[in-house]
């Protein structure tokens, strides 16, 4: 059985309802675009444009509500009864990608965009003719080759080979591009000329250089070659993804993943907030560690979710349950504020942290995941691998009314008793980070050392006092002041991300950290490597 798969982007901007029974608005322009056609698949998108002066809202009585007909025959897709509002502000265009598994002979075929309202199908826009069976980029062999990979970025080559017995010429239309995705997020930095033509004879090979010049934290990165197939921009993954590992780290996966739940992110609602506690026993092996990133295990059936913002908070606690309610984000650390893409199928959704999170021995770990207000919602079957938890070990809230604030969590919530399967990426912390320090001794250390892009400077104060931390270059010139004020006795941390007082990045080299606490002083050399 051939199927259709869709990505739905929902926006609600206005108040003009077209009501029950679809009626075409004269200001709504529908355009079906064939981005690319392989020998067994069609990649298209339905472009919907509001040419009027005011907002328009269309109400449909099923979901999914759009698709295609081929040669006049409507292709079925599994719609269920639910009201879907699609909103367009004046001048706005929204694109709905369509992928269609071809089940027709080679040759020219007519494709028509249709929308479904209730039990009826309505053609929208003009039909387009599509040639099936012509050579395309799907007939080529694509491979990502790593020249170098480090904290400063990636130097890659995309190897393209024609494995067929026929010459292949591809004209990638309208601002084409060959690029990569990193952890499923397309990097839109590599553009080819607007008239780029790819000609390969049988067995011929060519290479496309790809440079990704962004700082990379310690952890894994899934890299995939991508082809831009048209405007509005639509990318298609080609070849097999590869795993690139930056730095040395260990992995720990918590949970069995025997359940599927809309946890820790609920794409059915416009905003969701989730929090849970992982006990020190569950985290065995991660005692005294620096957590450099994490991954959720997704299992999406109907839609991919592109370019979606999530915020991840971590914190330490001695609590074993959330029976008394939320631990607000003000008591946690924001470790990731990322735009992520969640593909179809089973995937690792990786969020690497710019600054590692220190987990001390014997502490329980608090995980909070915030979904800011989103126009992607009503995704019922887009779930994550989870497992049963304790009755008060997790807490959640979801709504279509307001954006949920992790710093001021809602007073009403529920206890799902479910935790997400999560993989943590971590490195060992300083060897003496959890030892008992003599009360009369001032200590200063940092980890990692050498470092890139940031290092955590930790120090222990025997008593409350005024503390000043200055950073100097090897010439004795002050680079930046990291701390100046009164602090309580105990363990403290500050983070240096390799920049000076003006926020400019410093060069590789040795720097001096000087800690002045009352009448005590201690210094330490640290090394920045780029």
Determine the average pLDDT of the residues in 390-415.
93
What token pair was written down for 25?
Answer: 């608005």
pLDDT of residue 438: 41
Confidence class for position 100, pLDDT limits 50, 70, 90? low
The CATH code belonging to domain 4-132 is: 2.60.40.2360
Structural domain spans, the chain? 4-132, 137-245, 250-428, 443-528
Q: Mean pLDDT throughout 22-27?
A: 77
Q: Which tokens in the block code for residue 246?
A: 């930056």
Neighbouring-strand partners of residue 85 = 59
- Evaluate the omega torsion of the peptide bond into residue 450 and state whether it is cis, within 30 degrees of 0: yes
- Predicted confidence at residue 424, as pLDDT, reads 95
Higher pLDDT, 521 or 319: 319
Q: Which range among 186-190, 445-449, 496-500 shows the weakest confidence by mean pLDDT? A: 186-190
On the question of pLDDT at 291 being above 50, the answer is: yes
Q: Looking at residues 114-131, what average pLDDT do you find?
A: 85
Which of 218-222, 275-279, 368-372, 471-475 has the least mean pLDDT? 471-475
CA distance 194 to 173: 7
Q: Tokens in use for 305?
A: 């979710």
Q: Model-level pTM?
A: 0.60
What's the pLDDT score for residue 169? Answer: 75
Least confident among 3-17, 40-54, 278-292:
3-17
The DSSP string of 432-481 is: TTTSPPPTT--EEEEESSSBSS-EEEEEEESS-EEEEEEEEETTS-EEEE
* Band of pLDDT at residue 146, cut at 50, 70 and 90: very high
Fold classification of 250-428 is Jelly Rolls (2.60.120)
With a CB cutoff of 8 Å and minimum separation 6, the contacts of 5 are: 99, 302, 303, 344
In this structure, are residues 212 and 154 in contact, taking their beta carbons and an 8 Å threshold?
Answer: yes
2 has a pLDDT exceeding 60: no
* CA dist., res. 307 & res. 340, Å (int): 5
Residues present in the chain in total: 530
| CB-based contacts of 98, cutoff 8 Å, min separation 6 | 4, 6, 42, 43, 44, 45, 46, 66, 67, 68
Per CATH, the architecture of 443-528 is what?
A: Sandwich (2.60)
Within its chain, how far is the Cα of 58 from the centroid? 30
**Distance, CA of 367 to CA of 69 (rounded, Å):** 46
Q: Do residues 90 and 100 lie in contact, with contact meaning Cβ atoms separated by under 8 Å?
A: no
pLDDT band, very low/low/confident/very high, at 58 (cuts 50, 70, 90): confident
Cα angle 69, 74, 78; round to 5? 115
* Average of per-residue pLDDT across 186-203: 69
Q: Closest Cα partner for 214 from 169, 155, 262?
A: 155
Residue with tokens 């250390």: 445
Q: Where are the alpha helices (DSSP H) in 115-217?
A: none
Six-digit token string for 476: 């004795």
- Collapsed DSSP state (helix, strand, coil) of residue 360: coil
CB 382, CB 261: distance < 8 Å: no
The CATH H-level superfamily of 137-245 is Intracellular proteinase inhibitor BsuPI (2.60.40.2360)
Q: Which of 37-51, 267-281, 409-423 is least confident?
A: 37-51
What is the structure's pLDDT at 338?
Answer: 85
Q: Decide if 137-245 and 250-428 have a common fold.
A: no
Percent of the chain with pLDDT over 90: 32
């Amino acid at each position: 059985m051939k199927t259709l798969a869709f990505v739905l982007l929902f926006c609600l901007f206005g108040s003009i309802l077209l009501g029950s029974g679809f009626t075409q608005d004269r200001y709504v322009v529908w355009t079906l675009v064939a981005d690319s056609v392989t020998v067994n698949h069609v990649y298209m998108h339905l472009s919907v444009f509001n040419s009027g002066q005011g907002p328009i809202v269309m109400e449909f009585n099923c979901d999914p509500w759009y698709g295609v007909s081929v040669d006049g025959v409507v292709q079925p897709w599994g719609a269920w009864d639910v009201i879907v509002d699609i909103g367009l502000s004046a001048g706005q265009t929204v694109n709905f990608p369509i992928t269609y598994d071809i089940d027709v002979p080679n040759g020219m075929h007519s494709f028509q965009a249709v929308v479904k309202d209730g039990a009826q199908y309505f053609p929208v826009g003009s039909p387009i003719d599509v040639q099936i069976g012509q050579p395309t980029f799907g007939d080529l062999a694509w491979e990502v080759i790593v020249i170098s990979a480090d904290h400063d970025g990636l130097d890659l080559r995309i190897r393209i080979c024609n494995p067929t017995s026929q010459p292949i010429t591809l004209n990638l239309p309208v601002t084409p591009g060959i690029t990569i995705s990193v952890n499923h997020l397309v990097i839109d930095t590599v553009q080819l000329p607007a008239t780029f033509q790819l000609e390969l004879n049988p067995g011929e090979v060519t290479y496309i250089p790809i440079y990704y010049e962004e700082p990379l934290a310690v952890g894994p990165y899934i890299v995939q070659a991508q082809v831009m197939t048209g405007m509005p921009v639509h990318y298609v993954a080609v070849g097999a993804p590869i795993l690139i590992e930056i730095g040395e780290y260990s992995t720990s996966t918590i949970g069995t993943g025997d359940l599927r739940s809309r946890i820790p992110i609920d794409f059915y609602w416009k905003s969701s907030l989730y929090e849970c506690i992982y006990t020190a026993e569950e985290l065995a092996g991660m005692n005294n560690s620096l957590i450099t990133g994490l991954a959720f295990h997704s299992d999406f059936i109907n839609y991919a979710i592109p370019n979606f913002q999530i915020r991840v908070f971590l914190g330490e606690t001695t609590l074993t349950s959330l029976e008394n309610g939320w631990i607000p984000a003000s008591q946690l650390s924001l470790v990731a504020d990322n735009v992520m893409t969640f593909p179809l199928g089973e995937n690792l959704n990786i969020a690497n942290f710019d600054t590692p999170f220190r987990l001390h021995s014997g502490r329980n770990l608090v995980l909070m995941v915030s979904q800011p207000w989103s126009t992607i919602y009503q995704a019922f079957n887009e779930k994550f691998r989870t497992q049963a938890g304790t009755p008060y070990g997790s807490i959640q809230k979801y709504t279509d009314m307001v954006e949920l604030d992790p710093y001021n969590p809602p007073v009403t919530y529920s206890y799902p008793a479910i935790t997400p399967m999560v993989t943590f990426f971590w490195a060992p912390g300083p060897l003496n980070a959890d030892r008992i320090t003599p009360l009369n001794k001032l200590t200063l250390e940092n980890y990692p050392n050498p470092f890139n892009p940031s290092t955590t400077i930790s120090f222990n104060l025997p008593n409350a006092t005024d503390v000043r931390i200055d950073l100097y270059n090897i010439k004795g010139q002050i680079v930046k002041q990291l701390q100046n004020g009164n602090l309580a006795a105990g363990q403290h941390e500050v983070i240096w991300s390799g920049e000076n007082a003006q926020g400019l990045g410093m060069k590789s080299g040795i720097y001096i950290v000087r800690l002045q606490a009352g009448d005590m002083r201690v210094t330490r050399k640290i090394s920045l490597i780029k």
